[in-house]
A and B are shown apart, each in its own frame.
Chain A
Amino acid sequence: MADRPMPELLPTPAAPVPPADRIGAGVLNTFALIGGLALWGGRALVEALRPPYDVDEIVRHLYDIGWRSTPLLATSGFAIGVVLSMHTRASLERFGAEAMIPAGLAVAVVRETGPLTAALLAAGRVGAGIGAELGAMRVTEQIDALEASAVDAFKYLAVTRIVACMIAMPILTTVMNVSAVIGGFVAEHAISGMSWDLYLERAFSLIGFSDLLPSTLKTIAFGFIIGVTGSYLGFAAQRGTEGVGQAATRSVVLASVLVIISNVVLVRLIFFFYPQGGA
């Protein structure tokens, strides 16, 4: 605890500075931020494995992060399914390949659209929530109060949230995928009257384990990123309500960007381990 560096963002220079210095400061800040996040995340992983496990807290956050995000994710997934179905229809109709709509939609959703959209929505809802909540706790000295009560605030506040995010994310992704497939079915049924059984049969015709497993499990990493970013920026919040808002906003932006960037790496990694990427 004592030897734990709390997140401290570099102070922005007060006096007007030459542009070159400002760019330099910006670059330094970015590196400091990335380094801080990496340390924060690394320690979170170590701490998550060390007892005590604050199961009650994890359950509480799972409720907030997972259960209460479900309606948002399910609704969005449904809408995305409907829209994707219309899009795939528009493009596949040209080749007379309407029969491919369910398969095309399912592959698109399961491989990328589902996980990424779920992660971005979670970054918005959950990342902002964590950033704001922890930011407020920092600003109102609740984090200090925890520390002063001999409680490891990092473990109690940050690790539990990060773990909850990592558990919730694949489940939310599954919810998203399922509702997108259902949404696609509703759109398909409305237009072509296709039966649920046939739709399901076709939807799964092109999906293999290597489509479903890695793309769903990679969202654990997304959950980790969202949790780490939110908690880091929340802990780093500056005094005042402005600091809380800033922590929330920055959490969303940074988490979203990091999710998208890490997705590139993860997809590359998945292709490395599953060279076929399909079948």
Chain B
Amino acid sequence: MTRLAGVGLFVVGGLVLFAAALFMVGDRRMAFARTFRVATQFSRVTGLQPGAVVRVSGARAGTIRRIDPPTDPAGRFRVELDITEELHPLVRTDSVASIEAEGLVGGSFLSIEIGGADAPIATSGTMLPSREPFEIADMLQQMGATIVKVNATVDVLTGQVQHALDSVVVTVDNANALITSVSDDATRIASAGARISTDLADLTADIRDGDGTVAKLLHDDTLYRRLAAAAEHGEAIAGDTRQIVGDTRQIVGDVRAAVERLRGTDGQVTGLIDELRQTVTQSRSAVSGFADNMDALKRNFLFRGFFNRRGYFDLDAVSPDDYRKGVLTGGGERPAVRIWLTADRLFAPAAEGAAGTPVLTDDGQARLDSAMTAFLDQLPGGVLVVEGYSRDGSRQSQFRTARGRAATVRDYLVDRFGLDAQRSGAMPLGATPVETPELASWSGEGIALAYFSDPARR
């Protein structure tokens, strides 16, 4: 009967089509796959819903089963998810779960990173670690806060810096020709101070421009992290700047004191000037640190991985003791290459006796230049430390001589080769060498250029 056949075809065909559609949906929802269930926790679920997709390393892997809200404000949302057995071996106990957005218009999905090969495979019921979702709103809020902070700092500091610099200039004028060498440095600080203002203005503009970039890369987590780093930088800058101001004030004070004393008595002039120079050097390093941060921040917005190349240590903060213990070698990852140079070949003998300011001879400069050629081709990456040695006299005098030698050589090299001030240091080590000098004529008086190369470069 054709009518019955038609109706049969209609009903059965329709049901088959519908069942096929259901199957297609179910298949994509992993409704028919064998799965195991794990859980994770978030303090915020940003649009994640039961039924949402789970991806392991980008591959469709399962579904969110349920999301239980926390019972108290301090708690976190507990998210349970099913993952297909197929991808089970990739999910380890250290696999990090995060909530991501599926393109510009899609919903949220849960992303699970492939775990470490050493970590045990996650079993049913494992609580996976999670990374809290970031939201563009938070990011913008943080950016706003950073801008405000930076602006405020700039406002306050520009005034203070200006004031300090004015004092310096006045003081320097007062000090007159007596301290010409210091005034040189002071002028440098002054010009660096001028840069602070423009750089900060640039930075603020950059952050503001960042808005546009941000809108385009709506869901780029990396950008967010970089931005967070930028905020840290901003604070570092503020810190640096405060230090500069503090230093500058000290300089001003010192200079004033020096001038007072100069006017009062004639004694100990050289020592005072030396002290002053030291302060200025420190201040300069702070200024250059500031400039460094500033540059980093700029590069940050151009998406350069500044942090990766930067050392995780602060050379100024490393004590000779720590240095001997090998903090800079990074547990053997950064072995040092040393070149030994004796003092008699580097410094003019006349200056030797005078209080701590050794002077490089032309021959000494030439020797340093040639020694540096060994490091030149790997220069930007690593860390250069000038180790100063001396075994004459008391420990204090050893230390001072060693420090004078190291600082002189370091300053020379920084100027000569434009070394990164952050990654070059002077280390007074007294009488005992860190390792046996590879120099037959080693007298215990001199310096060693220690170069710690960048592990990433090897």
**Which of A's residues lie within 8 Å of B, judged by CB?**
59-60, 62-63, 66-68, 70, 95, 97, 100, 167-168, 170-172, 174-175, 177-178, 200, 204-213, 216, 276, 278-279
CB of B15 closer than 8 Å to a CB of A = yes
Decide yes or no: A212 and B14 within 8 Å by CB, A59-B4, A66-B7 being known contacts: no
A209 touches B26 (CB 8 A): yes
Residues of chain B within 8 A (CB-CB) of A213 are: 22
- Write 11 A-B pairs (CB below 8 A) sorted by A numbering: A59-B7, A60-B3, A66-B7, A67-B6, A67-B10, A97-B103, A168-B10, A172-B14, A174-B18, A205-B28, A279-B52
* Closest Cβ–Cβ distance, residue B249 to chain A (whole Å): 56
Give Cα A66–Cα B9 distance, bound, in whole angstroms: 10
What is the minimal beta-carbon distance from A114 to any residue of chain B, in angstroms? 11
Produce 1/0 per residue, B1-31, CB < 8 A to A: 0011011011101110110011011101100
Interchain CA distance A15-B112 in the complex, whole Å: 78
Contact indicator A204/B105 (Cβ below 8 Å) = no
Known contacts A67-B10, A207-B24, A209-B22, then 7 further A-B pairs from the complex at CB < 8 Å, ordered by chain A residue = A59-B4, A171-B11, A175-B17, A204-B28, A213-B22, A278-B107, A279-B53
Chain A residues with CB under 8 Å of B106's CB are 206
Query: Which residues of the other chain, A, contact B4 by a CB distance below 8 angstroms?
Result: 59
Closest 6 CB pairs of A and B: A171-B14, A67-B6, A279-B51, A67-B10, A174-B18, A66-B10
Q: Do the beta carbons of B18 and A216 come within 8 Å of each other?
A: yes
Interface pair A67/B105, CB less than 8 Å apart: no
When each residue 24-46 of chain B gets 1 if its CB lies under 8 Å from chain A and 0 otherwise, what string results? 11101100000000000000000
- Check A209–B6 contact: CB distance below 8 A: no
A208 CA / B26 CA spacing, docked (Å): 8
Please count how many residues in chain B sit with their CB below 8 Å of the partner chain's CB atoms: 29
Identify whether the interface residues of A are mostly helix, strand, loop, or mixed.
helix
Q: Which listed residue, A66, A68, A70, A212, touches B22 by the CB 8 Å rule?
A: A212
**Which of A68, A174, A200, A276 is the one whose CB lies under 8 Å from B17?**
A174
Chain B nearest CB from A220 CB (Å) reads: 12
**Interfacial chain A residues near B103, Cβ < 8 Å:** 97, 100
Per-position binary interface string of chain B over residues 93-121, scored 1 when its CB falls under 8 Å from any chain A CB and 0 otherwise: 00000000001111100000000000000
Is there contact, CB below 8 Å, between A66 and B11?
yes
| Contact of A97 with B25 in the complex, beta carbons under 8 Å | no
CB A169 to nearest CB in B, in angstroms, measures 10
Residues of chain B touching chain A, judged by Cβ–Cβ distance below 8 Å, are 3-4, 6-7, 9-11, 13-15, 17-18, 21-22, 24-26, 28-29, 49-53, 103-107
Q: Which residues of B contact A60 (CB under 8 A)?
A: 3
Q: Which residue of B lies closest to A103 (CB)?
A: B106
Assembled-state Cα–Cα distance A41/B8 (Å):
27
Q: Which residue on chain A has the smallest CB distance to residue B14?
A: A171
Are B3 and A279 in contact, CB atoms less than 8 angstroms apart? no
* A153 to B70 CA separation, bound complex (whole angstroms): 60
Q: In the complex the two chains form, what is the Cα distance from A82 to B3 in whole Å?
A: 32
Contacts of B52 in A (CB 8 A): 279
Bound-state Cα–Cα, A200 to B28, Å: 11
Q: Cβ of B7: which chain A residues have Cβ within 8 Å of it?
A: 59, 62-63, 66-67
B104 & A279 in contact (Cβ 8 Å cutoff): no
- Please state if A178 and B21 are interface contacts (CB–CB under 8 Å): yes
Given contacts A59-B4, A63-B3, A167-B11, contact A209 B50 (CB under 8 A): no
| Inter-chain contacts of B50 with A (CB < 8 A) | 276, 279
Q: Are A212 and B10 in contact (CB under 8 A)?
A: no
Would A209 and B25 count as touching, CB distance under 8 A? yes
- With A59-B3, A170-B18, A171-B11 already in contact, the answer to whether A208 and B104 are too (CB < 8 A) is no
B219: min CB distance to chain A, Å: 14
B3 and A208 form a contact (CB under 8 A): no
A210 to chain B, nearest CB (A): 7
Give the distance to chain B from A73, nearest Cβ to Cβ, in Å: 11
- How distant is the Cα of A278 from the Cα of B106 in the complex, in angstroms? 11
Q: How far is the CA of A70 from the CA of B9 in the complex (A)?
A: 11
Q: Is the CB of A279 within 8 A of B49?
A: yes
Tell whether, in the assembled complex, residue B105 and residue A208 are in contact, meaning their CB atoms are under 8 Å apart. no
Which B residue's beta carbon lies closest to that of A68?
B6
Closest CB in chain A relative to B104 CB, distance in Å: 7
Contacts known (A59-B3, A70-B10, A170-B18); A95 close to B25, Cβ less than 8 A = no
User: Is the pair B22, A276 in contact by a Cβ cutoff of 8 Å?
Assistant: no
Closest chain A CB from B302 CB (angstroms): 24
- The distance from the CB of B107 to the nearest CB of chain A, in whole angstroms, is 6
Bound Cα distance A212, B28 (Å): 13
Q: B372 CB to closest chain A CB, in angstroms?
A: 52
B107 x A62 contact (CB < 8 A): no
B14–A170 contact, CB under 8 A? yes
Q: Which of B17, B25, B28, B53 has most A Cβ within 10 Å? A: B25
| Complex-state Cα separation, A276 to B13, whole angstroms | 30
A209 to B27, CA, bound (A): 11
Residues of chain B lying within 8 A (CB to CB) of residue A63: 3, 6-7, 10
Q: Tell whether A171 pairs with B3 under 8 Å between CB atoms, given A206-B106, A279-B52.
A: no
Do A279 and B107 have beta carbons less than 8 Å apart? yes
Instruction: State the CA gap A276–B108 with chains docked (Å).
Output: 12
Residue among B10, B26, B53 having the largest count of chain A Cβ atoms under 10 Å: B10
Query: Within 8 Å CB of B49, what residues of A?
Result: 276, 279
